């Protein structure tokens, strides 16, 4: 299970690093576009920056969910404690993206001349990260419950088949 967890973690980390690395380019593109329209020092810029940071977090949440659900699906034995470790690891993985987003939002607030909005933007971003963490936790716990339920449902059909194989092999 540890190898599956490590693979899922590495793939999610690679996606996270790409998002953290591309966020400055997205920010610059937004700034160039709004500067050309004369809106660089406006609330529109702050809204676009927040939307870009939120989109990166949401995309990372989708990646994290897919990678960790893959690990849960591939594991031979799955326990509730392992799922909770995955949830904790996955939840912690959002911190670098949140920090990068906060830096860009602080810079954007200063550029717009609205430093007082920085705290509110950070709060909005934190809310997005918390929602992403909750979604990851729900998705992984749901995957575990589905898998556990699927095993229980398959058991009544599995036992007679195995008994039939054993008795059929003994008569051959």
With vertex at residue 48, the alpha carbon angle to CA 52 and CA 58, rounded to the nearest 5 degrees, is: 25
**Alpha-carbon gap, residue 10 to 89, rounded angstroms:** 11
Q: Of how many residues is the chain composed? A: 172
Q: Which of 4, 115, 134, 136 is nearest to 64 (CA)?
A: 136
Question: Degrees (nearest 5) of the Cα angle 51, 55, 60?
Answer: 150
List, for residues 52-92, the tens digit of each pLDDT value: 999 999 999 999 999 999 999 888 888 899 999 999 999 99
Lowest mean pLDDT among 25-34, 53-62, 136-145, 151-160: 151-160
Token pair recorded at residue 8: 């899922």
- Which tens digit of pLDDT belongs to each residue from 102-146? 999 999 999 888 889 999 999 999 999 999 999 999 999 999 988
0.95 surpassed by pTM: no
For the chain, count helices (H), then strands (E): 5, 0
CB contact at 8 A, 162 and 91: no
Confidence of residue 155 (pLDDT cuts 50, 70, 90): low
């Amino acid at each position: 299970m540890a190898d599956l967890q490590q693979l899922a973690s590495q793939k999610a980390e690679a996606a996270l690093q790409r998002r953290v690395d591309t966020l400055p380019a997205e920010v610059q593109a937004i700034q160039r576009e709004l500067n050309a329209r004369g809106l660089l020092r406006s609330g529109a810029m702050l809204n676009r920056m927040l939307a870009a940071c939120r989109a990166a977090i949401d995309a990372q949440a989708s990646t994290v969910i897919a990678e960790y659900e893959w690990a849960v699906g591939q594991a031979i034995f799955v326990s509730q404690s392992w799922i909770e470790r995955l949830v904790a690891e996955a939840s912690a993985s959002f911190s670098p993206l949140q920090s990068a987003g906060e830096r860009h939002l602080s810079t954007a607030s200063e550029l717009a001349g609205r430093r007082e909005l920085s705290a509110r933007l950070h709060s909005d971003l934190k809310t997005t990260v918390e929602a992403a963490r909750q979604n990851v936790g729900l998705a992984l716990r749901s995957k575990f419950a589905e898998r556990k339920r699927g095993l229980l449902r398959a058991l009544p059909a599995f036992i007679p088949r195995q008994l039939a194989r054993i008795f059929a092999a003994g008569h051959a």
